[in-house]
């Protein structure tokens, strides 16, 4: 039987406290870097798409940045994988919006997030038979609770822990929250993706970061076998939970530093583009144009004119000038002409 939170285990170990210090320093630097950006929404938009892609890849839902953006641009589903990634992106936005409105993470919000991720497989499990498997090895890692009433009881306990527990640093509680949610595995599908959105909402709730920007999916992909090993180990013996906590804390540190590096590269490219555009296209230059072409890997005339509040002929003129000077490259997708930011694509690829 799955134990309820909080676990009666000492987590003030030397190893955890040392790693916690490193992780808090790294996430604090990330929070500071975001506050320095002139327009954080530009980076947030890109990182949300990156997380949608990486988190879905953990579930073997593979697509490319190009396909994701072509889907967004043309409003046509390029593939089933791209559609699922787009669903995940919508679920992130919903979760953050709900948190901003309520300052609380509820079981109902978790259920709604999962329903956005998996529209045809929504709701808490009612039938037995679910197990957690390492998708690379097909090994059964854990058998979660099978009874709906047990699942709901454990989710209620988790909800109380998320919103009220202050025994440990929020980063330690993040690890416990993630472990417990994945061990409950309340849905037929989409548990991993829902759990990873829950991670970022928890960090925002506890003011570790102000924006949904720190995503652990890439770290989990790179250390997937260790993740499944620890999930199995700790469910067999909850006294091993300090190892899972340390794993997540290391993920927070590494992901924070990787995200800082990515943000700085994007910001440097934005500043370079701003200076080059002022020099080469002074008649059309504006910060709004620069921010727009860095908010999307792909854009098109409709997006351009709507966001900049300009006419179609003016948008066409600007886009052709930007392409001529190498800031954008055009490509025909179906009946539409789209414009892509190659330098930004290269950073993410």
Average pLDDT, the chain: 90
CA–CA gap between residue 256 and residue 258 (Å, rounded): 6
- In this prediction, residue 333 has a pLDDT band, given cuts at 50, 70 and 90, of confident
Tens of pLDDT, residue by residue over 53-95, are 777 776 766 666 667 666 666 665 556 667 777 788 889 999 9
Mean pLDDT for 43-56 is: 76
Instruction: Tell me the CATH architecture of domain 281-348.
Output: Orthogonal Bundle (1.10)
CA–CA gap between residue 339 and residue 292 (Å, rounded): 12
- In this prediction, residue 37 has a pLDDT band, given cuts at 50, 70 and 90, of confident
Residue ranges covered by each domain of the chain? 14-254, 281-348
Q: Per 3-state DSSP, what percentage of the chain is helix, strand, and coil (rounded to 5)?
A: 65, 5, 30
Tens of pLDDT, residue by residue over 98-110, are 999 999 999 999 9
Comparing 276 with 211, the larger pLDDT belongs to 276
- In this prediction, residue 318 has a pLDDT band, given cuts at 50, 70 and 90, of very high
State the pLDDT at residue 39.
Answer: 75
State the pLDDT at residue 76.
Answer: 59
Mean pLDDT for 283-308 is: 90
State the pLDDT at residue 252.
Answer: 98
CA–CA gap between residue 191 and residue 197 (Å, rounded): 10
CA–CA gap between residue 266 and residue 295 (Å, rounded): 11
Instruction: Tell me the CATH architecture of domain 14-254.
Output: Orthogonal Bundle (1.10)
How many percent of the chain have pLDDT more than 90?
65
Which residues, at least 6 apart from 199, have a Cβ–Cβ distance to it below 8 Å?
A: 174, 177, 178, 215, 216
Tens of pLDDT, residue by residue over 196-209, are 999 999 999 999 99
- In this prediction, residue 169 has a pLDDT band, given cuts at 50, 70 and 90, of very high
Mean pLDDT lowest among 15-24, 45-54, 253-262, 306-315: 45-54
Asked if pLDDT for residue 290 goes beyond 80, the answer is yes
Which residues, at least 6 apart from 297, have a Cβ–Cβ distance to it below 8 Å?
A: 46, 49, 65, 66, 69, 340, 341, 344, 345, 348
Asked if pLDDT for residue 159 goes beyond 70, the answer is yes
- In this prediction, residue 211 has a pLDDT band, given cuts at 50, 70 and 90, of confident
- pTM of the entire predicted model: 0.90
State the pLDDT at residue 97.
Answer: 95
State the pLDDT at residue 311.
Answer: 95
Structure tokens at 298: 């792909």
Comparing 266 with 245, the larger pLDDT belongs to 245
HSE-up (13 A, CA, CB side) for residue 329: 6
State the pLDDT at residue 75.
Answer: 61
Asked if pLDDT for residue 167 goes beyond 90, the answer is no
- In this prediction, residue 183 has a pLDDT band, given cuts at 50, 70 and 90, of very high
| Angle made by CA atoms 120, 128, 59, in degrees to the nearest 5 | 50
Q: Are 97 and 201 in contact (CB under 8 A)?
A: no
């Amino acid at each position: 039987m799955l134990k309820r939170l909080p676990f009666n285990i000492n987590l003030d170990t030397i190893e955890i406290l040392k790693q916690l210090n490193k992780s808090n320093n790294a996430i604090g630097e990330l929070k500071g870097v975001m506050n320095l950006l002139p327009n954080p929404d530009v980076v947030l938009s890109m990182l949300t798409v990156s997380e949608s892609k990486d988190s879905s890849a953990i579930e073997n839902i593979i697509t490319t940045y190009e396909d994701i953006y072509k889907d967004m641009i043309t409003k046509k589903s390029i593939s089933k994988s791209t559609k699922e990634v787009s669903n995940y992106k919508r679920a992130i936005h919903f979760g953050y919006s709900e948190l901003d409105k309520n300052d609380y993470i509820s079981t109902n919000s978790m259920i709604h997030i999962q329903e956005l991720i998996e529209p045809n497989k929504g709701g808490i499990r009612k039938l037995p038979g679910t197990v957690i498997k390492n998708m690379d090895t097909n090994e059964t890692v854990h058998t979660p609770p099978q009874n709906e009433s047990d699942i709901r009881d454990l989710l209620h306990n988790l909800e109380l822990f998320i919103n009220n527990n202050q025994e440990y640093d929020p980063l330690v509680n993040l690890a416990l929250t993630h472990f417990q949610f994945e061990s409950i595995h309340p849905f037929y599908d989409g548990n991993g993706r829902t759990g990873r959105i829950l991670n970022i909402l928890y960090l925002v709730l506890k003011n570790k970061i102000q924006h949904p920007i720190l995503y652990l999916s890439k770290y989990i992909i790179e250390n997937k076998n260790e993740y499944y090993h620890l999930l199995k180990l700790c469910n067999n013996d909850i006294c091993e939970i300090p190892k899972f906590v340390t794993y997540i804390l290391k993920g927070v540190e590494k992901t924070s530093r990787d995200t800082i590096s990515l943000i700085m590269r994007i910001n440097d490219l934005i500043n370079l583009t701003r200076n080059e555009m002022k020099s080469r296209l002074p008649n059309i230059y504006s910060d709004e144009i620069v921010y727009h072409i860095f908010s999307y890997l792909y854009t098109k005339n409709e997006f351009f004119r709507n966001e900049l509040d300009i006419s179609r002929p003016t948008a066409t003129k600007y886009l052709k000038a930007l392409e001529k000077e190498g800031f954008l490259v055009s490509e025909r997708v179906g009946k539409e002409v789209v414009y892509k930011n190659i330098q930004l694509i290269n950073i993410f690829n």
